Structure 1
Amino acid sequence: MELRKGLEDIAIKETEITYIDGVLGRLYYRGYSIYDLAEFSNFEETAYLIWFGKLPNKKELQEIKEALAEEREIPEYITEFIKNVRKDANPMDVLRTAVSMLGIEDRSNEELWKKAVKLTAKIPTIISYFDRVRKGLDIVHPDPSLSHAENFLYMMRGEKPNPIDSRTMDVAMILHMDHEMNASTFACLVVASTLSDLYSAITAGISALKGPLHGGANAEALKQFMEIGSKDKVEEYILKKLESGQRIMGFGHRIYKAYDPRAKILKEYARNLAKEKGKMELFEIAEKVDEIGCKILGKKNIYPNVDFYAGLVFYFLGFDPDLFPTVFASSRIVGWTAHVMEYLKDNKLIRPKAIYKGEIGRKYINIENRE
C-alpha cells in the first residue's frame, strides 16, 4: 500500500464547484474565472453561483439577498453566551461554539441550502458581536438594507463603511469562498459522510481552519511585515530567514506552482487601502518582500499565496489579527456547505487506512511480572 502523507494528490470526490490550475495559477468557480468574479460580481451573487451552479437572474439575486438579510440575527441565548464568555477567548473558539449551539436548536428538516444560508448570514454577526463585547462596546445589530459585506463592516465598526472599504470586503470574501479540497473542507466532508448534521460538519471545518498552517497564515504574514519595520531591511530579513531554514510567511502553496491569482487581486486592493488609510509604508514593505522573495524562491516555483496580502487587507479594514481566521470562515462557509451538499448526493463514508508498522503476536505478561 502506498503511503501519501497529508493525502497529497489523493482525490476523494468529483466536483463541479471549483477548479484550480496550479501550474498556470488559475482559479475558477463553477467555470468562471476568479478574475471576472472579483471584477464584476459580489458576495451574494457568487454565493448563489457556488451553491446552485449558475449565476442568478435579477429575481433570484434579490431573493438570495433577502434570504441572507433576514437570517442575520442570532438567538438571544447565543448573544448571552457571547456576553459572558471570557474576553480573552480565541475568536475561533467562540465562533466554533456558537455554531455548535445553533445546531443544538435547529431540529428542522429544511433543505440543506436553507441551513447554508442561515449559517452564512449569522457567522458575521457572531464575529462582530464578540469583538465589540470584548472591547467594551455596544453590540451593533444587523442592518437589512445593507449588502452582506457592507453589513459585516457596519456591525464591526458601528458606522456604515465607505465605498472603497465595502468593495474591498466584498472582493476579499469572494476570493476566500472556496478552494477545492483544502484541510477544512475535507474535515467538513469527513463528518458529513457519517450522515451527521450540517452544523457538526461546519464545526469541524472551523476547528481545522483555526490551525496556524491553514486559517492563521495571513496573520503570520502581517506580523512578518510589521517585524521587518522598514523597506530597507527587507532583503537582509529574507536572507537571514532563508539561511536559517525558516519560511517566508505567505509564500508557497500545496497546489500552486505559480503566483496565486487571489494574491494578485488582493495586492491591488491592499495598495488602494494603504493609500486611503495612510499605511503605504507597510504595504511597500510587503511589496518588497514579494519582489525579493519571488526572485529567490520563484526559481523553486514558490510564490505568494492568498495569505500574503489578505492579512494586510483585513488589517487595513480594521480587523484585529486574531479575527482573521474568523473572517476567512465567514467566506469559506459558502464553499464548505456547497461541498457538503455535493458530496451527500453520492455519499460514501470516508474511511482511509493506515499502514501498521508495529509488532505482531506480542505475549501478554501479568502486571506482577512486568519490570
Structure 2
Amino acid sequence: MAVCDYSPGLENVPAARSSICFIDGKTGQLEYRGIPITELAQKSSFLETAYLLIWGNLPSQKDFDTFKQEIIHHRRTKYRIRDAMECFPASGHPMDALQASVAALGLFYSQRKLDDPAYMRESIVRLLAKLPTMVAAFRHLRKGNDPIKPRDDLDHTANFLYMLNEQEPHPLQAQVFDTCLLLHAEHSLNASTFSARVTGSTLTDPYAIVASAVGTLGGPLHGGANETVIPMLNEIGTVENVRPYLDQKLAQGEKIMGFGHRIYRVKDPRAKILQGLAEQLSETFGCDRYYGIAQELEKAVEERLGDRKIYANIEFYSGLIYRQLGIPSDLFTPIFATARTVGWLAHWKEQLEANRIYRPTQIYAGQHDQGYIPVVERAG
C-alpha cells in the first residue's frame, strides 16, 4: 500500500465509518442518528437523546423509564472515590480531578467483558450517572465541604444542578441546562472522540476509554476553549469597549474566543439554539451584564470577519449560560465532559462492532546510517 500524502492533524482523512452523527459545515446542518439537532433540542431530553445515540433508536416509554431508573440508582459513588478526591489539591483543575476519578472507577467496576451486553450496559449507565456526581463533589470538596448527595426525586439535569449549587433549580434553569447537555452530547470524530475510538480499539475497559477522552477534551484547543469566553467578556467590560477591544485583538493577530470552527463555515447551529436559551434566562431572571456585551461582540465580529466565514460557535454562548446558572468557569469543561461521555460511549460501541486496532503510519523525516559515538568521545 502506497503512503498517502501527509495531512497534519489527519485533516479530511476518514478514520471511521459511522452512523452516529452527520455534519454539513457549509450549511450548518447537524444530525444525531439522522434527526436534526433543532428538532431534538425542541422535543427531546438529554437522557432520551443519550439513549438514541448509544443504542441507535429512540426508546419506548418502558425502555426509557427503565433507563432513567438505572441512572438514578447508580448516581452515588463509592466512599473510597470520595476519599481519594479529598486528597486532590484544591488548586488542581477540575478536569484533572475528573480524569483521575473516572480512571479510579475502573478499579471498582472494570471486568473487560466486552462480549457481555449486561456488563456493557452497566458500564454505560454507571459512567453517565456518576460523572455528574463526581464533578459536583469536587466543587465542594476543594472548598473543604462535604459533597451534596444526589436526590432520587429529581430528574437527571435538576439533580446535577442541585448537587452543584445545593439549591433546587427553577424549572426553566433545569430545562435550559438539559438542552445544553443535549447539544454537547456528540459531534462526530473530534479529537476526544477519536481518542475514545483509538483507546477502545485496544479492547480496554470503558472507564479507561472515557478517562482518555476526558484528558483530550481538557486541552485549550478543544473543550477547554469554553473557559476563556467569560474572562474575555470581563476584560471587555462594557458594550462601548467591544469594538476597540476587537480592533486591538485583530491588529495583534489574536483569536477572538468563542468564534470560528474547524468544520462550520456558517454560525454553529448549536450556538443559534444556545443564544435563544440565553435570551430566555435573561428575560426571566434579569439580563446578565455580559449578555449585552456578547451580543455586541458577535455583531462586530460578523461585520469584521464574516467574509472569512468566522462566526460564533457553541462555546460562545454555553459559557454565558453556565455563568447565569451560577457555575464557575473552571467547571464548564467538566460539564462538557459529562455530556460528551454519551458520544464517546456511542463511538466505543460502534467501534467494537467491527473492531480493528488503530495503527496509522508515519512519514519518517530523520537520518539514516548514523554511527554510535561512545560517551567519552561526545562533545559537550
TM bin (shorter chain) = over 0.9
1:83 deviates by 2.3
Q: SS where residue 223 of structure 2 aligns? A: coil
CA distance in 2, matches of 1:66, 1:265: 29
Structure 2 residue 229 is the aligned partner of structure 1 residue 229: no
Q: For residue 191 of structure 1, what is the amino acid of its counterpart?
A: T
Unaligned runs of 5+ in 2: none
Between Structure 1 and Structure 2, how many residues are aligned? Answer: 371
CA distance in 1, matches of 2:10, 2:120: 28
Q: For residue 192 of structure 1, what is the amino acid of its counterpart?
A: G
The CA RMSD measured in Å over matched residues stands at 1.2
CA offsets, 1:310-365, max 9 Å, x none? Answer: 11111111111111110000100000000011011111111112211111111222
CA distance in 2, matches of 1:298, 1:53: 37
1:55 deviates by 1.0
Q: For residue 299 of structure 2, what is the amino acid of its counterpart?
A: E
Match of 1:29 in 2: 32
Q: Which moved more, 1:15-24 or 1:79-88?
A: 79-88
1:281 deviates by 2.4
Give the conservation status (yes or no) of the 8 Å contact 2:267–2:312: yes
Q: Among 53, 68, 84, which residue is 2:56 paired with?
A: 53
Structure 2 residue 249 is the aligned partner of structure 1 residue 246: no
Q: For residue 232 of structure 1, what is the amino acid of its counterpart?
A: E
Unaligned runs of 5+ in 1: none
Q: Among 268, 273, 289, which residue is 1:265 paired with?
A: 273
Match of 2:94 in 1: 91
CA distance in 1, matches of 2:378, 2:144: 59
1:367 deviates by 2.3
Q: For residue 61 of structure 1, what is the amino acid of its counterpart?
A: F
Structure 2 residue 183 is the aligned partner of structure 1 residue 175: yes
Q: For residue 171 of structure 1, what is the amino acid of its counterpart?
A: T
CA distance in 2, matches of 1:188, 1:281: 38
Give the conservation status (yes or no) of the 8 Å contact 1:21–1:27: yes
Q: Among 116, 121, 141, which residue is 1:113 paired with?
A: 121
1:280 deviates by 3.2
Q: For residue 86 of structure 1, what is the amino acid of its counterpart?
A: P
Structure 2 residue 221 is the aligned partner of structure 1 residue 213: yes
TM-score scaled by length of structure 1:
0.97
Give the conservation status (yes or no) of the 8 Å contact 1:231–1:281: no
1:208 deviates by 0.4
Structure 1 segments (4+ residues) deviating >6 Å? none
Q: Which moved more, 1:301-310 or 1:111-120?
A: 111-120
CA distance in 2, matches of 1:253, 1:153: 29
CA offsets, 1:225-277, max 9 Å, x none? Answer: 11101011111111111111001111111111111000000011112223444
Q: SS where residue 216 of structure 1 aligns? A: helix
Give the conservation status (yes or no) of the 8 Å contact 2:22–2:34: yes
| Alignment of structure 1 residues 1-371 onto 2, 5 Å | 1-108=4-111, 109=113, 110-371=118-379
CA distance in 2, matches of 1:159, 1:303: 35
1:117 deviates by 1.3
Q: For residue 378 of structure 2, what is the amino acid of its counterpart?
A: R
Q: SS where residue 28 of structure 1 aligns? A: strand
Q: For residue 217 of structure 2, what is the amino acid of its counterpart?
A: L
CA distance in 2, matches of 1:278, 1:220: 23
CA distance in 1, matches of 2:172, 2:106: 36
Q: Which moved more, 1:252-261 or 1:356-365?
A: 356-365
Q: Which moved more, 1:337-346 or 1:103-112?
A: 103-112
Q: For residue 339 of structure 1, what is the amino acid of its counterpart?
A: H
